[in-house]
Structures are given as structure tokens and as C-alpha cells.
Amino acid sequence: MNSAHQHIRLDCGRRLGYAEYGDPDGRPLLYFHGFPSSRLEAAFCDTAARQLGIRIVGVDRPGYGLSDFVSQRRLDDWPDDVLQLTRALGVERFAVIGVSGGGPYALACAWKMPEKLSSVKVVGGLAPLGQPETLRAMRWYARLAFNLARHSYPLLWLTYGVSVATALRLCPQSVSAWQWFSGAPADRATMGRSGVLPHLLASIREGLRQGVRGALWDAVLYSRDWGFPLDRITIPVELWQGGADRIVPPCHVQVLAGSLAHPIVKLLEGEGHYSLPIGHSEAILA
């Protein structure tokens, strides 16, 4: 079986897709992808994971890639899916890493099942968007999308759902250009490296293979109350942040650090949203 295209059936009958990278006999780490993306994003950590003896399992959230969509799901439903996957894989204790939009999902696991986690890392992760400063610091198109997600899902679908799906299907180079020009200088340098941008686009296309419902519902969840208190997370959480990140600006890590009981902040000046997880994967995993 191709290790990048696997799935299990959950107790409810839903399919949950995942991919494996790194050392198959190594210490287990579950990778929660960005927004929008897929399990394939975890391949960026493959080389570092092999060197460090880490088994990486990238997981598709519901509605992305190989995972079935779930209507009205919540952030704190995710740990239940994760537990069923780890049981199926024969894993008892594991680390989690959430990159960008995967950050809130890593925090949901830290809140709901701390006894299962050996470590928690959030890289360029979103903070709750109900706080004015976190949304205000983002680009105008992100502010518009998350405001629509909070107040009018039908308008979100009309404004972003149709346009994003069409662009990815008919004109993927337009998405490539947007990622190139919206990033920090460090991001543009990283995406100029051989194979980086094509793999990033492939991961996004795979994430949206079923359509945009999974991604749009993610936007709804990010923009509303997360359903669990950050200050009740009892285990340490490493917060990695690029100081030049233009997509999830540094104020997000400040809000997270001010809310968590035991934050460990790793701020890398000059790094962007993509250059941080791709260029520093070994340091982050270590």
C-alpha cells in the first residue's frame, strides 16, 4: 500500500485518511496540516524525521483529501478521531504538531487528552479569531473570509467557495502566484527551492479533491468560539512563530502565549509562514 494514501474506518463508518513519512519504526508524531491543505503536507518533514528517528503520520481533517466530510463538526471532536487512528496504528503515546490552521487542532488534543501526548508543537498557528487584534492583523482577504465565516456561511460559500475551487481546477498558476507574492521574502526564497512550490500546490489540490466544504467549515470553526479554554491546557505547548509571517502575524503567538498556562515561545526573526516549517523542520521536530 502507498504510505501516502491510506485510510481507516472510524467506529461511525467514516473514512479518515492519513499518510506516513519518516522512520517507520521511530517515535510517533501526528501532523495536522494547514488551511487548506492535506496529509501530503507532512512530506516536508520526511528527511528530518528520518534523521531524527521519528514516525510522522499526516492526517486529513474531515472533508479534506481522503477523509469524509462531517456536517456541523467541532474543534473538540478532532481528538476522538485521533484516538481511533492511533489505536488502529498500535500507538499508545505520541506527539502532535499543528501547522498554521492545524494549530487549533493540536491545542484541542492538548486540552482533551493530555495524558496521551508526549509533546505539543504549534507552528505559525492561528489564535482565536474572536479577539479583535488577531483578525485585525491579518490580510484583508483573510479578514473578509473569517468575518463571513462568523456571520454568513452562504456568503462565504459564494465569495470564496466557488472562486477557490474554480481557480484550483482551471488556473492553479494563479494560486501559485498568490502564494509567491503574499509571503515574506523568506517565504519567496523557500518556495523558489526545487520542488517546494509544486508539492505545496499538490497538497492543496489533494486537500480540496472533494470540494471546498471541509476548508470552509474550518474557516467557520476558526472564527467562532473554539469550545475549549486555552488556560485549562495543563501541559507545555511549544509555539513556533516566524517574526516576518504575513499570513498568520506574530500577534497570534502573543495571544496564544498569554492564554496558555505553560507556553514555550520560539520566535525566529525574519522567517515567514512557509520558510519556518519547511526550512527549520529539523529544529522543530527535535
Q: Which residue from 126, 78, 83, 124 is spatially nearest to 105, judged by alpha carbons?
A: 78
Q: What average pLDDT does the segment 273-284 reach?
A: 97
Q: Is the separation of the CB atoms in 143 and 264 below 8 Å?
A: no
pLDDT at residue 284, rounded to an integer: 98
Does residue 46 surpass a pLDDT of 90? yes
pLDDT at residue 170, rounded to an integer: 62
Does residue 180 surpass a pLDDT of 70? no
pLDDT at residue 183, rounded to an integer: 75
Q: What average pLDDT does the segment 30-53 reach?
A: 97
Does residue 174 surpass a pLDDT of 70? no
Report the greatest alpha carbon distance in the chain.
47
Domains and CATH numbers, the chain: 6-285 (3.40.50.1820)
Q: Which residue from 282, 284, 240, 233 is spatially nearest to 262, judged by alpha carbons?
A: 233
Report pLDDT digits (tens) over 187-234.
999 988 999 988 998 998 899 899 899 999 999 999 999 999 999 999
DSSP line for 89-158: HT-SSEEEEEEGGGHHHHHHHHHH-GGGEEEEEEESPPPPTTSHHHHHTS-HHHHHHHHHHHH-HHHHII
Distance CA 69, CA 285 (A): 30
pLDDT at residue 141, rounded to an integer: 85
